[in-house]
Amino acid sequence: MKNNNTPHRVPSNGRHALMLLSVAMLIFLSTALCLAAGGDPRRYQANGNLTAREGTSTVTIDENGYRVDPSVLVVTLADRPTSLEKLRLPAYVKFDYVYMQIAPKTMSPVIVYIKEAKKPAGSNKRSTR
């Protein structure tokens, strides 16, 4: 008669639980990293005539009001940095802006870069209508 003393192997619920917990942690960790890596807000580009400024916090470009970021970079036609106050008005400018939350549930366009530019040819012509 053959005597087999090897123990009978029963699947352990502890191993399955540990494996399930590991997979769940990896999923949650990857989701958290994706949400945390939102990065910089999207920048929008536009151009127009800068016609007015109120101190260093607000400007009017083509009759639209924009807030100005305190760390705004202003560049002249000669590619030299300057301040917003030294820019002669009216000036044709190209600018970058982002939407920032100013008040609860209120997103506002805030200019982060302004470059003085030459007015495009043909922009002084009147409509033939």
Q: Where residue 58 sits, what CATH number does that domain have? A: 2.40.50
Residue of 65 and 5 predicted with greater confidence = 65
86 lies in some domain: yes
For strands 106-116 and 91-103, give the pairing. Answer: antiparallel
Query: What is the average pLDDT value for the chain, to the nearest integer?
Result: 83
**What's the token pair of residue 45?**
């580009």
77 lies in some domain: yes
Residue of 2 and 66 predicted with greater confidence = 66
| pTM of the entire predicted model | 0.63
67 lies in some domain: yes
Confidence at residue 2, expressed as pLDDT on a 0 to 100 scale: 60
User: What pLDDT band is residue 29 in, cutting at 50, 70 and 90?
Assistant: confident
- Amino acid letter, residue 66: Y
Number of domains in the chain: 1
Preceding omega of 90 cis (within 30 degrees of 0): yes
8 lies in some domain: no
Query: By residue range, what is the domain housing residue 110?
Result: 44-116
Q: Kind and range of the H or E element at 51?
A: strand 44-54
Confidence at residue 19, expressed as pLDDT on a 0 to 100 scale: 83
26 lies in some domain: no
49 lies in some domain: yes
89 lies in some domain: yes
Structure confidence by residue, pLDDT tens digits, 82-126: 999 998 899 999 999 999 888 888 889 999 999 999 988 876 655
| 128 pLDDT above the threshold of 60 | no
Instruction: Report, in this order, helix, strand and coil percent for the chain, each rounded to 5.
Output: 20, 40, 40
